[in-house]
């Protein structure tokens, strides 16, 4: 009898001690921790607060340094260290033997302790502490009149997935080192731990390779860039270039590692190789007289020819990549490799015959498997986009599933590890709001809510197969992001939703997420992140009914808001018609809508006509 009752009693105790989704408003952390319990009272951080390190190592000193860095900027003081872990008014970091990346944070009026097992856990506990402090802690300038208080609480936290990634394509547009550091800072703040650095493309090669200097001397450049959509046919006439020296790469790898971010370099093969081929035409099938770095977006038929010369080149490049990047995982691209050149190339056709392959898809698979063998022989593992499944998956490859979920499902069923990065749900280059009033993007819209609600573990997988989903990644392709400001606009706050899907175990709760996000936006404001503010604006959608009518739906992400609208040409006010259910309009009518809270408008007025 006892045996049967005990587990239920224990479960009740656990539930009573921990409320995974119902976090009080005073605590708004993104990504949501596993367990948050709030107590009465607060800890007051002041000049007399001391930092206590249970393990006084350079690593822990460095982690504590991040606290002092923030305090120095925002509060104008830093904290001294103490070796008395029993003292009052201390913030302590203690090794409690927790699993990697896990932490527990206990805040009482007397002390704050962050328990960890690894540096990553201590670092993540500190990120949570920053989000327990007033948002002014993220200010880069001194703010006066702030009470630096932390609500008393107990937080137990550990990640759902080991791989929590954010991608950045630096080829379609180049971004400088300062921006990359800021990008990594924002990732780390959200407990995102993999930076997928897309370094080579048809439109530019961005990584210095000592053995092949032309790759950056020449391959970094394209002579001009298409304006508008890829098929506009209009070009800006301005050369675009940029690359990272090996010294810069080492610096960034170190910078990221100090923030518990692993950089995963991507060297594309066999497709998206035109910039390299423009420098070294002998790597191609040799069907053309002239090769030039691409000046518009798309998929190009000039791909690497699978000959010995090409493998020698790619192995040399990989050798330098291994020197620069300690990551076990290396991305070899593999996506969008047209087979037109291989079909015409006598060498490729001869190779298909000689190896007894069925077709060009099997040739691609052979190409990837050959590179995998080399990369594995150096103690590294490959990950590639879905298309590496074509013609058979290399034996130890991991798959980054971008073509919807299908590739990810197939790979997991074959017991290969998978990172879910599906287009369009995790593609941050897609519109996030009404395309009518947004800057040019790839497609969509993929709203914040769509991103938040996406479940990265496909239901069709068995419990055993689900274990092969090792994580998630948000993709930032920069066709239409020529500036750092545009990247941040497209990435945030949607990346908050992906970060939470990667970190948080509990069931999704959109309303709770929006409440926490609203508080979190104040932190991004302090950091001057120019995120998209569609969160506060009504999204008016027209659903074509007849050639003369549309059914209208209106939604808003901001919590506790009501939508008011007009159809008579007047501006919406708090007294205008309240939106409750969809309605129909004709061609003449303009829908004007705004969101209100407590009688005050909270975002922009939006307009839409058929």
Q: How many residues does the chain have?
A: 610
Q: Toward Zn ion, which CB reaches closer, 62 or 347?
A: 347
Contacted by 544, from ligand ACM, Zn ion, none: CB < 5 to 8 Å by type? none
DSSP letters for 556-569: --STT-EEEEESSS
Burial of 222 (0-12, 13-18, 19+ CB in 10 A): buried
Which of Zn ion, ligand ACM, none binds 253 (CB below 5-8 Å, type-dependent)? Answer: none
Residue nearest to ligand ACM (CB): 335
Q: Which does 452 bind (CB under 5 to 8 A by kind): Zn ion, ligand ACM, none?
A: none
Cα 329–chain centre separation:
17
Shortest spacing between CB 478 and ligand ACM, in angstroms: 12
Give 495's contacts (C-beta < 8 A, 6+ positions apart).
Answer: 166, 186, 190, 192, 428, 474
DSSP-derived secondary structure for 92-126: EEEE--PPTT-EEEEE-SSEEEEEESSHHHHHHHH
327-386 residues near Zn ion, rule: CB under 5 A: 345, 347-348
- What residues contact 229, with CB distance under 8 A and at least 6 apart? 440
Residue 54 binding partner per list ligand ACM, Zn ion, none, with a CB distance cut-off of 5 to 8 Å that depends on partner kind: none
Q: How far is the CB of 385 from ligand ACM (least distance, A)?
A: 5
> Which backbone phi and psi does 379 adopt, to 5 degrees?
80, 15
Least distance in angstroms from the C-beta of 342 to Zn ion: 6
Please give the Cα distance from 195 to 491 (Å, whole number). Answer: 14
What is the nearest approach in angstroms of Zn ion to the Cβ of residue 266? 23
331 versus 516: smaller Cβ distance to ligand ACM: 331
* CB closer to ligand ACM, 260 vs 385: 385
277 contacts 334 by C-beta, under 8 angstroms: no
Task: Choose between 30 and 348: whose C-beta lies nearer to Zn ion.
Answer: 348
Comparing CB distances to Zn ion, the nearer of 288 and 571 is 288
Number of residues counted as binding Zn ion (CB under 5 A): 5
Q: Which residues pair with 155 in a beta bridge?
A: 36, 105
DSSP assigned state of 443 = S
Residue 17, SS3? helix
Rounded to a whole number of angstroms, the minimum distance from the CB of residue 307 to Zn ion is 7
When the beta carbons of 335 and 438 are compared against ligand ACM, the nearer one is 335
The one of Zn ion, ligand ACM, none whose footprint includes residue 345, by CB under 5 to 8 A per kind, is: Zn ion
Q: Is 107 left (phi over 0), alpha (psi -120 to 50) or beta?
A: beta
Q: How far apart are CA 121 and CA 325, in angstroms?
A: 23
305 contact, one of ligand ACM, Zn ion, none, CB 5-8 Å limit per kind: Zn ion
CA distance 50 to 71: 13
What CA–CA distance (Å, rounded) separates 39 from 154?
Answer: 8
Q: Which stretch binds Zn ion (CB under 5 A): 193-201, 226-234, 284-292, 452-460?
A: 284-292
**Residue 285 lies near Zn ion (rule: CB under 5 A):** yes
Which one of ligand ACM, Zn ion, none is in contact with 223 (Cβ closer than 5 to 8 A by kind)?
Answer: none
Residue 336 interacts, among ligand ACM, Zn ion, none and using kind-specific CB cut-offs from 5 to 8 Å, with ligand ACM
DSSP 266: E
Is residue 550 involved in binding Zn ion (CB under 5 A)? no
The footprint of ligand ACM (CB under 6 A) covers: 335-336, 385, 402
Per DSSP, the three-state class of 308 is helix
318 binds, among Zn ion, ligand ACM, none (CB under 5 to 8 A by kind): none
In the bound complex, what is the minimum distance in angstroms from residue 310's beta carbon to Zn ion?
Answer: 9
| Contact track, Zn ion, 408-447, x by CB under 5 A | ----------------------------------------
Residues that bind Zn ion (CB under 5 A): 285, 305, 345, 347-348
């Amino acid at each position: 009898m006892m045996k049967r009752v005990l587990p239920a009693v224990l479960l009740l105790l656990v539930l009573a001690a921990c409320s995974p989704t119902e976090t009080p408003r005073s605590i708004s952390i993104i990504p949501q921790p596993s367990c948050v319990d709030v107590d009465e009272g607060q800890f007051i951080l002041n000049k007399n607060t001391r930092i206590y390190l249970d393990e006084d190592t350079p690593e822990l000193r460095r982690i504590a340094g991040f606290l002092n860095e923030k305090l120095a900027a925002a509060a104008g003081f830093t904290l001294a260290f103490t070796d008395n872990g029993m003292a009052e008014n201390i913030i302590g970091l203690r090794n409690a033997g927790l699993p990697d990346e896990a932490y527990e944070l206990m805040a009482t009026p007397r002390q704050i302790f962050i328990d960890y097992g690894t540096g990553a856990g201590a670092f993540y506990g500190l990120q949570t502490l920053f989000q327990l402090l007033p948002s002014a802690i993220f200010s880069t300038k001194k703010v006066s009149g702030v009470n630096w208080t932390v609500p008393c609480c107990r937080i137990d936290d550990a990640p759902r997935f080991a791989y929590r990634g954010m991608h950045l394509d630096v080829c379609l547009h180049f971004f400088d080192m300062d921006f990359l550091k800021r990008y990594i800072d924002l990732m780390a703040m959200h407990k995102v731990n993999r930076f997928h650095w897309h370094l080579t493309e048809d439109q530019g090669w961005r990584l210095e390779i000592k053995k092949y200097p032309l790759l950056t001397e020449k391959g970094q450049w394209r002579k001009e860039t298409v304006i508008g959509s890829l098929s506009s046919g209009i070009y800006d006439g301005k050369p675009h270039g940029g690359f990272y020296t090996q010294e810069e790469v080492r610096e960034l790898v170190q910078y990221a590692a100090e923030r518990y971010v692993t950089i995963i370099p991507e060297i594309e093969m066999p497709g998206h190789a035109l910039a390299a081929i423009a420098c070294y035409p002998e790597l191609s099938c040799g069907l053309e007289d002239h090769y030039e770095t691409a000046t518009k977006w798309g998929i190009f038929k000039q791909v690497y020819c699978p000959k010995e010369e090409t493998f020698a080149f790619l192995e040399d490049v990989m050798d330098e990549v291994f020197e620069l990047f300690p990551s076990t995982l290396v991305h070899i691209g593999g996506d969008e490799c047209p087979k037109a050149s291989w079909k015409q190339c006598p060498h490729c056709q001869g190779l298909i015959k000689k190896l007894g392959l069925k077709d060009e898809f099997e040739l691609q698979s052979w190409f990837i498997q050959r590179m995998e063998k080399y990369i594995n022989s150096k103690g590294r593992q490959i990950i590639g986009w879905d298309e590496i499944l074509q013609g058979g998956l290399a034996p130890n490859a991991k798959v980054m599933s971008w073509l919807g979920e299908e590739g990810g499902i197939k790979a997991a069923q074959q017991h290969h590890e998978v990172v879910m990065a599906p287009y369009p749900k995790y593609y941050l280059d897609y519109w996030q709001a009404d395309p009518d009033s947004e800057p040019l993007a790839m497609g969509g819209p993929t709203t914040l809510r769509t991103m938040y609600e996406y479940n990265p573990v496909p239901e069709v997988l068995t419990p055993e197969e689900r274990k092969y989903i090792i994580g998630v990644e948000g993709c930032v392709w920069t066709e239409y992001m020529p500036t750092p400001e545009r990247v941040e606009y497209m990435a945030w706050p949607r990346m908050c939703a992906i970060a939470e899907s990667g970190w948080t175990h509990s069931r999704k709760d959109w309303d709770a997420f929006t409440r926490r996000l609203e508080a979190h936006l104040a932190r991004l404001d302090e950091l001057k992140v120019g995120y998209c503010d569609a969160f506060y604006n009504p999204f008016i959608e027209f659903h074509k009914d007849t050639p003369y009518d549309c059914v209208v739906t209106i939604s808003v992400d901001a919590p506790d808001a009501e939508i008011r609208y007009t159809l008579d040409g007047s501006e919406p006010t708090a007294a205008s018609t309240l939106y409750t259910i969809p309605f129909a309009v004709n061609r003449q009518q303009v829908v004007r809508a705004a969101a209100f809270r407590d009688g005050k408008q909270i975002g922009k007025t939006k307009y839409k006509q058929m």
